[in-house]
Homo-oligomer: A and B are copies of this chain.
Amino acid sequence: MSDRDTRHQQAMRKLKSHVDEKVANATEQRGLLLVFTGNGKGKTTAAWGTVTRALGYGYKVGVVQFIKGLWECGERERLVEDANLEVAIMATGFTWDTQNREADTQACQAVWADAERLLADPDVYLVVLDEITYMLKFGYLDIATLTRALNNRPSEQTVIITGRNAHRELVEMADTVTEMQEVRHAFNNGLQARRGIDF
């Protein structure tokens, strides 16, 4: 075996023993709270990737979309015929299109009722609260209401929260937090959003 091969094998063994140790230490089993935040592309997309994954094993999934827009439709189209998927969408356009605080608060509260029902249902394995961070920021939904529902949810249920500027309390509660940081975005360099890629 060459020197390079030997060094490679040693490096891989070290990596493997590191991974094995982590696996051995991971003994707790329960539903997780995941937060995908930051200003970069991929938050809602990663949530839908997880939805696809959970549906692949036959689990029940609920997705609540707090900002309905032109974006993020392809995955709904692909998955919506699945009997294990329920999608609830806030009955308003992008909030900066409607520009009406009272109507948006009502629309948020109406779809939050769906979220609360899903968060109380032990048959639902995964709940996605897509873009809910903006509801907190705009004052359409109370952080205490959200954290209470999260704390009281069935122990086997995983919840994914997406959106920029996740509330400090959510970040502290969460088991896994990923900050998706924009290094570069095509949209800012004059490239049009693409069907099937961006929405």
Contacts and interface: CB of A to CB of B under 8 A. Distances in A.
A189 B189 CA distance: 40
Interface residues of A, number: 87
Copies of this protein in the complex? 2
B12 A178 contact: no
Interface stretch (A36-44, A109-117, A144-152): A36-44
B184 A177 contact: yes
Interface in A147-162: 158
A194 B158 contact: yes
B52 A5 contact: no
Contacts of A107: none
B100 A78 contact: no
A176 B98 CA distance: 29
Interface of A: 4-5, 8-9, 12-13, 15-16, 19, 22, 25-32, 34-36, 38, 40-50, 52-57, 59, 72-79, 94-102, 125-126, 138, 158, 171, 174-197, 199
